[in-house]
Chain A
Amino acid sequence: MSLELETATNPDVLRRVAIEPLSRVEGHGKVTLLLDEDDHVQQARLHIVEFRGFEKFVQGRPFWEIPVMVQRLCGICPVSHHLAASKAMDQIVGVDHLTQTAEKLRRLMHYGQILQSHALHFFHLSSPDLLFGFDSDVARRNIVGVAAEYPDVAKQGVLLRKFGQEVIRITAGKRVHGTSAIPGGVNKNISKEERDFLLKDIYQIIGWSRDAVHLAARLFEQNLDLYNSFGRFRAHNLSLVRADGAMDLYHGGLRARDMDGKTLFDHLEYSHYWEHIHEQVKSWSYMKFPFFRELGPEDGWYRVGPLTRVTQCDFIPTPFADHERRDFLAFDGGSATGATLGYHWARMIEMLHAAEMIKELLHDDDLLGSDLVVTGERRERGVGMIEAPRGTLIHHYRVDENDLVVRANLIVSTTHNNQAMNESIRQVARQHLDGRKLTEGLLNHIEVAVRAFDPCLSCATHSLGRMPLEVELLDAEGSRLDAVSRDMQGFC
């Protein structure tokens, strides 16, 4: 593992290329490349250019307000923040175990979230690259193009996401930014009618989710060399797993393995995560760089998310998804498990798992129960952790004796993946851009690598491939040598 290409030794004499903003990702980000006279890449960086400040402005607010407030970090996976903060506040009100009804309702909400977010990412944001090719005609490389060429795929993507949103509406009270998880439990159950409303479509949803796994697998197989090598890098891994080693996206202990598969820690109770995870600040990015304390900042960075979760768990506790997991691990001698584009395949396996879990929960009468909240003895500190669609999410709060938050630390999935994403774009820059004249299609390769992680760079934009893009080549004096641009309609 190296930090090669992070910082050029002679930036003053290099040309700067900026991909800004990145498109078809959640939020604003940019990539800058520094190239020498022969177009060789000397530096590549992914920058997160927005400052959100949630950790600061939750200070001084009452703790019961936080699970609703912090979910405004995002419009795509607010449930993750809602639940991670609620889990932290469970600790604050002294609750270690929710009622069966409350925990299952929260889990149902979370699986609805996983389903809709993974569907959105795969179908709406990434499938245009995967179906048409990374440097295909930009005019059709978007969800509208997919709808024209592959109407069934587009329709299933839209309806899968819709179903996930309906699960969230029924469990959280609203499709986006609901309020049902509260410290110590939930504020509502679901009715029999609501349960039946979801049950009538769930088998179709499972069927489409299986199709989606097969589509992702087929794309990998058909482009094996490209997918295996594209932005590939070796990394340590971090995820939550259940006590028996099963995949559990709502709760568990931390499992970390190094890039050779050796266990760094396992079933670690996460309430003292900071003893193992530190964050490094770099002057060129608003986003911190987390690392395993045992290995240090240079060697201790890691990746999180679907690829990690599917490969690190011992099994998936639903039959269809576990079958797909085994196929994924066995494919081509396990090559997909280390491939950046393997994220998409793993993501669809998780979507299938979420659909199966929703089915299982909908058949559980505990969802209709009325025992919703428990209370305990107040504590000063609360840590909540969850596996959000994009990876491990940490919420950590300290609350004073007057019930006000005095300190907050949020480490979101995309932050965990910060160095991994940088590593991936550097690989792509080396593999595909080095020494070549830049085109829109070549630059899209960089974005394809970023998109594989489904980064939530914050919730600023959801423009579905219609983001304006302007790339300029400047010489050392700042004079413009070359430029590529794309307008609001996505045309060059």
Chain B
Amino acid sequence: MSETAIFLLDGEEVPFEPGQTVIQAALSAGRYIPHLCYHPEFKPHGSCKVCTVKVNGRTAASCTLPAQAGLDVESDTEEINELRRTLVQMLFAEGNHFCPSCEKSGNCTLQALGYDLGVMTAGFRHFFPDRPVDASHPDILLDFNRCILCELCVRASCEVDDKCVFALSGRGLSKHLVVNAESGLLADTDIALTDKAMEVCPVGVILKKRVGFAQPIGRRRYDPDPISAQALRDAPRPPTGAGHCAACEVEE
């Protein structure tokens, strides 16, 4: 069966294993589909929509779309990339993404994606949210103004750390990240620097204190290669639902 399990991505054949999503199969086959909230170690989430593709004439999030034989998937087209650029622009406009003074610059997935997609401006009027940072924890800082609501920290804290320190609250425009403590302060949770939730933030929300710019320009994650090349290097990483990273263990 697997010999015939093939779909078309931008006109080229992509093989897949049963249970794989379109993005997983594409990355495994060395084909990059831009994405943001998708993380190979976690269950697909489908919230950011950056991995949107056109399938048989309809748009769908490739991270949640099961791969099926006979699909005709369009991804690297000007139309789809323009939609992705707009989505990323909206994320930049919704938060305070001041790359010039952000310590995550160079290590930031949103920034790297913006560069890779050719996003030149935010394109929309900035919201300039004014959410106070949470500096209550002695070793960890939260800057809520940069949150893109990907829920990776929520998923990591619940699924891997078994602590559920983070959650999203509110709906629509007022949706925001909260800390699961009566005081609402991180100091009153049992989060630890070794938690998985400390590793997964794609932007500069969850930060280890007093690190800042210790990593010089040129040695930051996205300095040597664009995000598209790195995503392919990291693949394949089959989802296990428990944050288990098979590929990571093989590499090291």
Contact = CB atoms under 8 A, between A and B. Distances in A.
B201 to A, nearest CB: 15
Given A64-B210, A403-B209, A187 B216 contact: yes
B57 to A, nearest CB: 46
Interface residues of A, number: 24
A68 B217 CA distance: 12
A402 interface: yes
A173 B133 CA distance: 28
Contact of B100 (A72, A173, A182, A373): A72
Given A60-B132, A404-B133, A65 B210 contact: no
Nearest to B207: A62
B212 A403 contact: no
Contacts of B216: 173, 179-180, 187-188
A60 B133 contact: yes
Interface string A91-107: 00100000000000000
5 contacts: A62-B212, A69-B100, A93-B210, A187-B214, A404-B135
A344 interface: no
A174 interface: yes
Given A173-B218, A182-B212, 11 more contacts: A60-B132, A64-B211, A64-B212, A65-B102, A68-B100, A68-B213, A93-B210, A180-B213, A187-B216, A402-B135, A404-B135
A491 to B, nearest CB: 33
A62 B102 CA distance: 11
A490 interface: no
B151 interface: no
B215 interface: yes
Contacts of B211: 64
A165 B141 CA distance: 34
Contacts of A183: 210, 212
B100 A177 contact: yes
Nearest to B133: A60
B13 interface: no
A201 B136 CA distance: 51
A174 B135 CA distance: 30
Contacts of A69: 100-101
Nearest to A404: B135
Nearest to A174: B217
B103 interface: yes
A65 B103 contact: yes
B213 A187 contact: yes
B132, B136, B216, B218 — most chain A CB neighbours (10 Å): B216
A178 interface: yes
Nearest to A58: B101
Interface in B114-141: 132-133, 135-136, 141
Interface string B194-215: 0000000000000101111111
A179 B217 contact: yes
Contacts of A62: 133, 135, 141, 207, 209, 212
Contacts of B214: 182, 187, 373
Contacts of B132: 60
Interface string A144-184: 00000000000000000000000000000110011110110
A178 B106 CA distance: 12
Contacts of A179: 213, 216-217
Interface string B143-178: 000000000000000000000000000000000000
A5 to B, nearest CB: 41
Contacts of B103: 64-65, 68
A164 B137 CA distance: 42
Nearest to B130: A60
Nearest to B219: A188
A65 B209 CA distance: 10
B215 A187 contact: yes
